[in-house]
Amino acid sequence: MMESEVDSERTMLKREIAELRAALNQKEQCLRELDSLFSFATRPEQEVVGNDLESPDVAVHTKLTNDDIARYSRQLILPDFGVQGQLKLKNSSVLIVGLGGLGCPAAQYLAAAGCGHLGLVDYDEVERSNFHRQILHSEDRCGMSKAESARIALLELNPHCEIQCHSRMLYPHNAMHIIRGYDVVLDCTDNVPTRYLLSDACVMLSKPLVSGSALKMDGQLTVYNYANGPCYRCIFPVPPPPEAVTNCGDGGVLGAVTGTIGAMQALEAIKVIVGMGDVLAGRLLIFDGGSGVFRNIRIRSKRPNCHMCSAQPLITELINYEMFCGMHATDKNNPMLLLSTDERLSVEDYQQKIQAQPHLLIDVRPTAEFEICQLPEAVNVPLVEILDDSYLKRLGKQLEDKELPIVLVCRRGNDSQIAVQHLRNRFPTHFVRDLIGGLHAWTNSVDPSFPIY
Ligand SMILES: Nc1ncnc2c1ncn2[C@@H]1O[C@H](COP(=O)(O)OP(=O)(O)OP(=O)(O)O)[C@@H](O)[C@H]1O
Ligand SMILES: [Zn+2]
C-alpha cells in the first residue's frame, strides 16, 4: 500500500468512527430522555409537605339552615335542583386549578351557588394585566398570590364557603396529594403540560375534569373522565408542537369570552355534583364570540388503546410533562434557544452605545401591538413581513452602501431572534442584533415609565 493510500484509509476510518460516536451519543441521549420521562414520578418526592396539601375536612350536612334557604332560594325552587341538590353542593369540594381568566368566574359562581369547599391552586401573583378578565383580583391586591386574592373576594361573596389556598405550582410531585381530596377538578390553566398532568392525575384518582380554554374571541369546554367518557389523552394522544401553541399573553383575549367559558365550567361542575342535566362529556362546546354562536360537537368516545385510561394503560404513573410536551427538549423550533447571549444586545448596551448613532430599529411585533407603545425612531415591520422575500429586497435597497446597524425588538425577545436569524442569512456581513428581553427588559432596566403589557 502506498503512503497516500494509507493516509486516505486512515481518514476514512476516522470519519466512520466519528459518525459511529455521534450515532451512539444520539442513542444515549434518547435513552436518557426516556429514562427521565418514565422514572420521573418514582424519584423521592420533594416539596410535598405543607398544610395546604392535606385534604379538605368535609363535614356531612343533612339539613339546610334558614340562612341557606334565604340565600339560595332562587335556585332551591328549581325542580331538578331543590333541597337535595343544594345539600349535595354544600357537601361537595371542587378544586380549581388556575385563578386567571377562567378560574375567577368559575370560582365566583361556585362559591355564590353554595359549593361547600373550594380548593384554589395558582403559583402566580396578581398583576395589572390580569384585571380586565381575572375579575376576583383588585388593584390593592397587586403582587398578592392569586389564590389568596381570590379567597378574599370569594369570602366576601359567600362567607359560608370554606376555601383552601394552594399557592404553588401543580406539578407531578404534588398533584396526587392535592387532587385526592376533591370531588371535581376544574382545569382553568393555560398550558399544555398542565392539561396532560391534570388529565392523567384525574384518571388515576377517578375524578371528573371540567376543562375550559379561551383565546382571542373563542372558547371551548368539555368534561373529561366522566361516566366512562374520554380523557384528554383519548382526544389528544400526542401534544401539539410547542411553536403551535399560543397563550393569552401572545394572542390576546377578551374578558367576556373567558367569563363565558369560566361560568360554564362552574355550571358543568354543579351538574356533575348534583346529578342534573346532561353533562358535556364526550361533547365539545365551541363558542365563537365574534359571531355569538355556540356549537356542540360530538368528540370521540374513550380510545380503546388510550395510554392512560384504557383497560391496559401504558402510563401508570405521572411523568415529566414539560419534557413530554417538548418544552425542554433541545428543540430547534424553540426561539429561546436560537441565539447565544453574545450574539445579542442588552437593552443597556443599546441605550448607551447605539441609540444615539444612526441605526435602523425594527420593531417586529404585530401592528396592533406596535400602536400600543413603541421606542423612539422604531419602524414597525411585523415578523411575518420580515420573513417575506419582498421585504428583504426593499431592505437590501435601503442598506445599499450603508453600514447601518440593524437592531430588532419585540415584546419579550423571542420573535426578534427569529427575525435576526432571517436577516443574517440574507445580509451575513451586516451588524444585526436583537434586544435581549425585548420591551419588557427596556421597562425593567432602562425606562420604568415605558408601558408594559
Ligand atoms: N401548573 C400550574 N399550577 C398552578 N397554576 C397554574 C399552572 N399552570 C397555569 N397556572 C395558572 O393558570 C392561570 C391561567 O390563567 P390566564 O391564562 O388567564 O392567566 P395569566 O397566566 O395571568 O395570563 P397572561 O398570559 O396574561 O400572563 C394563571 O394564573 C397561571 O398562573
Ligand atoms: Zn383516555
User: For the chain (length 453 residues), average pLDDT per consecutive 10?
Assistant: 76 78 65 50 46 68 94 95 96 98 98 98 95 95 97 98 96 94 97 96 98 96 96 90 76 95 98 97 96 94 89 87 70 50 91 94 94 96 85 88 90 86 85 94 96 92
Residue 27's pLDDT is what? 62
**CA–CA dist 218, 286 (Å, integer):** 8
Question: Which ligand 1 atom is the nearest neighbour of the CA of 99?
Answer: 29
Long-range interactions of 72-75: CB distance < 8 A, separation 24+: 72/113, 72/114, 75/113
Domain 91-323 CATH (choose: 3.40.50.720, 3.40.50.2300, 3.40.50.300, 3.40.50.1970)? 3.40.50.720
b/e code 362-371 from CB counts within 10 Å (16+ = b)? bbbbbeebbe
- Which set of grid coordinates corresponds to residue 61? 350536612
Where along the chain do the CATH 3.40.250.10 domains lie? 339-444
**CA–CA dist 111, 161 (Å, integer):** 6
Phi and psi angles of residue 184, each rounded to the nearest 5 degrees, phi first: -135, 145
Q: Does ligand 1 have an atom closer than 6 angstroms to the CB of 166? A: no
Where along the chain do the CATH 3.40.50.720 domains lie? 91-323
Question: Which ligand 1 atom is the nearest neighbour of the CA of 127?
Answer: 22
**CA–CA dist 285, 198 (Å, integer):** 20
Residue 240's pLDDT is what? 82
Ligand 1 centroid to 118 CA: how many Å? 18
Q: Is the Cα dihedral 222, 121, 203, 314 positive or negative?
A: positive
Ligand 2 centroid to 118 CA: how many Å? 26
Q: Is the Cα dihedral 215, 220, 223, 225 positive or negative?
A: negative
Minimal-distance CA residue to ligand 1 atom 17: 190
Q: Does ligand 1 have an atom closer than 6 angstroms to the CB of 191? A: yes
Q: Are 426 and 392 in contact (CB under 8 A)?
A: yes
Helices 103-113 and 255-274: crossing angle, nearest 10°? 40
> Which run of H or of E encompasses 79?
none
Q: Are 219 and 226 in contact (CB under 8 A)?
A: no
**CA–CA dist 186, 178 (Å, integer):** 13
Q: Are 192 and 245 in contact (CB under 8 A)?
A: yes
Minimal-distance CA residue to ligand 1 atom 13: 98
Residue 130 annotated as part of some ligand binding site = yes
Residue 191 annotated as part of some ligand binding site = yes
Question: Going by DSSP bridges, is the β-strand pair 406-409/162-166 parallel, antiparallel, or unpaired?
Answer: unpaired
pTM for the predicted model, two decimal places: 0.73
Long-range interactions of 367-373: CB distance < 8 A, separation 24+: 369/411, 369/453, 372/451, 372/453, 373/439, 373/450, 373/451, 373/453
Which architecture does CATH list for 339-444?
A: 3-Layer(aba) Sandwich (3.40)
Active site residues per annotation: 248, 410
Q: Which ligand is nearest to the CA of 302?
A: 2
- DSSP secondary structure letters along 111-126: HHHT-SEEEEE---B-
| Nearest one of 294, 255, 272, 245 to 186, comparing CA atoms | 272
Q: Does ligand 1 have an atom closer than 6 angstroms to the CB of 308? A: no
b/e code 167-192 from CB counts within 10 Å (16+ = b)? bbebbbbbbbbbbebbbbbbbbbbeb
**CA–CA dist 59, 62 (Å, integer):** 10
**CA–CA dist 354, 447 (Å, integer):** 16
Residue 46's pLDDT is what? 43
First-residue to last-residue Cα distance in the chain = 72
Q: Does ligand 1 have an atom closer than 6 angstroms to the CB of 121? A: yes
Q: Does ligand 1 have an atom closer than 6 angstroms to the CB of 123? A: yes
Largest CA distance in the chain: 105
191, amino acid identity: N
Residue 47's pLDDT is what? 47
Question: Which ligand 1 atom is the nearest neighbour of the CA of 258?
Answer: 18
Q: What is the 3-class SS of 154-171, one letter each residue?
A: HHHHCCCCEEEEECCCCC
Minimal-distance CA residue to ligand 1 atom 5: 122
- Residue among 124, 199, 215 whose CB has most ligand 1 atoms within 8 A, to mutate: 124
| Chain centre distance of CA 188 | 10
| Nearest one of 112, 21, 25 to 75, comparing CA atoms | 112
Q: Does ligand 1 have an atom closer than 6 angstroms to the CB of 146? A: yes
